Chain A
Amino acid sequence: MNMYKHELSAYRKSLFGWISALVGISILMMSMFPTFSKDAGAFVALLSNMPDAVLAAMGIHMETITSVLGFYGYIFVYILLGGAIQAMLLGTTILSKEVRDKTADFLLTKPVTRQAIVSSKLLAALTSLAVTNIIYMAAACLITALVSESAFSLKLLILATLPLFFVQLIFFATGLLVSVIWPKMRTVLPVSLGVVFAFFLIGALGATTGDDKLRLLTPFKYFDTSYIVEHSSYESLYLFITIAWVILATALSYIIYMKRDVHAV
């Protein structure tokens, strides 16, 4: 419990930063919706002149973009991107930071098992992500209600926003695994950003070609907002992949970290 508290307070500052950023982006972009919907016809005409590939890459769906949820789905892509970076950074940092700051010697010579160390850190990180999601969810509901002129389904909005948590879990687990496989990683930022953007670009590319195999490769496309809005549910295959990967990567991280030699830096 002491480690959990310590970890939580260590992430506190960056957590508030990320929450403000995500909420800020959604407020900024959603506040454009009233203007957008007023001139929706002109916008749609403008957009329809663009090549289909570009629209697909940008995640714009002509049929839904003019509805508030469709518009939200469009901006949500960028929320996902931000959230993924936050989660990946958290994942790569929590264990590797101890090595870089030489605090691993401190922690590992205390009467605790390595398992307890990883669990405390995981729990603290998950708490951070959960807090992010709860606050973001509340903010998203509020701002959508404010900008929307017509009624919309709150349930659908929540269903469409929950994937933020799922995608964050994927990238968090991935980051964790990367950090234990590659413990000598000096700087987590470029690695984390690189991985997240790579997947993001694969996603954009996959959308233009409509290739389903590419879609498997990018968590950003696992939870398609238009599908969710249309069916009020998630695609079970991708939900399954998400759960499986998060469990697998976390378990592997545990195993590798248990067995690893922690060298003096």
Chain B
Amino acid sequence: MSIIELQQLTKTYGSARGIKNLSFRVEEGEIFGFIGPNGAGKSTTIRTLLGLIYPTSGSAKIFGKDILLHGQEIKKEIGYLPSEVFYYDNMKVKDLLHYSASFYKKDCTKRMNELAALLELDVNKKIDDLSLGNKKKVGIVQGLLHEPRLIILDEPTSGLDPLMQQRFFELLLEENKKGSTILFSSHILSEVQRLCHRVAIIKEGELVSLEKMSTLKANNYKRFKLEASTAVEESSFAIEGVTELVIRDKEVSFMYKGNLNAILRVIASIEIANLWIEEPDLEEIFMHYYEKEA
């Protein structure tokens, strides 16, 4: 069963922001990456799923239940970590965590203490006095303490130091192993690359691409860089599949998608001094998606 299912989900605001006819599914047990630059509609999608804002048209289901009709029931099993952390004035960390736990009809104390210990969070401090990174930890603990079936993260790592980021990712992987599905929205691609099984790329509110991480990385694109012994004609690379061609003197670089034999024949016809063929990282693929259609 799909954990999340979007059908033609649309949310328009007065301005240009919003999402248009977004449809995709997140399957049980997945870590699903949701990427796009700021303002692409990631948060809009997530806020719609959580019932913070209402869709203009289309529908969405979580755990097979309609988000508008069964919001309360669905949220029992969702853990949400917003990009900006909230805090109530004058509350201690443990008061907030207990308050958060009080919404779920089960005892969360044990898990809460485990998480706080793991993230080295001092629960006796006032939230007002915490640094951004520590506030973020409060957000993580309150989002995970009820051991949710679906974890929704909206750009979760800002403010965490690299060590904590590492621990947080390990925590997510652990939760995932225990069976939680994770929707991970981010514009930091290396994070997504490390964690996610599948990735949806969203641009100006529309789905640009939805692929397995492995497909996205391995099959599609290769980055070529070569150094020729003599000057190179731009026309030699005018074959299908070559993009982002840059020729600087004897140095050539480009992205290639297609039959490798075809491009190797082109390269073979040139006297080359050096050659690199690399897997592009997600960042490059991502830029590629955006530049292509810009």
Contacts and interface: CB of A to CB of B under 8 A. Distances in A.
Interface of A: 2, 6, 10, 101-106, 108-113, 259, 261-265
Given A111-B72, A111-B103, A263 B88 contact: no
Contact of B78 (A10, A101, A109, A113): A109
B52 A10 contact: no
Contacts of B80: 105, 109
8 contacts: A2-B103, A101-B86, A102-B85, A111-B73, A111-B103, A111-B104, A263-B47, A265-B84
A108 B80 CA distance: 10
B151 to A, nearest CB: 12
Contact of A264 (B47, B54, B78, B142): B47
Given A110-B75, A111-B72, A262 B86 contact: no
Contacts of B75: 109-112
Interface string B72-104: 111110101011111111000000000110111
Contacts of A101: 86-89
Contacts of B142: 106
B255 interface: no
B100 A106 contact: yes
A263 B84 CA distance: 12
Given A2-B103, A108-B50, A102 B86 contact: yes
B71 interface: yes
A14 to B, nearest CB: 11
A155 B233 CA distance: 103
Nearest to A106: B86
A111 B54 contact: no
Interface string B21-54: 0000000000000000000000100010011111
A113 B69 CA distance: 11
B18 to A, nearest CB: 11
Contacts of B86: 101-106
Which bracket fits the contact residues of B?
20 to 34
Nearest to B80: A109
Contact of A111 (B47, B53, B76, B83): B76
Contacts of A109: 50-52, 75, 78, 80
Closest 4 CB pairs of A and B: A261-B53, A2-B102, A110-B103, A111-B75
A262 B75 CA distance: 16
Contacts of B104: 111
Contacts of A10: 88-89
Looking at A6, A110, A259, the one whose CB has the most chain B CB atoms below 10 A away is A110
Contacts of B82: 102, 105-106, 264
Interface of B: 43, 47, 50-54, 71-76, 78, 80, 82-89, 99-100, 102-104, 142
Nearest to A116: B72
Contacts of B84: 102, 105, 264-265
A259 B47 CA distance: 14
Nearest to B154: A264
A108 B51 contact: yes
A265 B88 CA distance: 16
B83 to A, nearest CB: 8
B113 to A, nearest CB: 20
Contacts of B89: 10, 101
A112 B72 contact: yes
Given A101-B86, A103-B88, A111-B75, 10 more contacts: A101-B89, A105-B82, A105-B86, A106-B82, A106-B142, A108-B52, A109-B50, A109-B80, A264-B47, A264-B83
Contacts of A265: 84
A264 B84 CA distance: 9
A6 B99 contact: yes
Nearest to A103: B86
B52 A262 contact: yes
Contacts of B88: 6, 10, 101, 103
A107 B45 CA distance: 18
A118 to B, nearest CB: 14
Looking at A10, A106, A259, A264, the one whose CB has the most chain B CB atoms below 10 A away is A106
B186 to A, nearest CB: 16
Given A103-B87, A106-B142, A264-B84, A112 B53 contact: no
A110 B54 CA distance: 16
A109 B87 CA distance: 14
A261 B52 contact: yes
Contacts of B103: 2, 110-112
Contacts of A6: 88, 99
B205 to A, nearest CB: 16
A259 B52 CA distance: 10
Nearest to B143: A109
A111 B50 CA distance: 10
A112 B71 CA distance: 8
A6 B103 CA distance: 12
Contacts of A2: 99, 102-103
Nearest to A10: B88
A49 B102 CA distance: 65
A105 B88 CA distance: 12
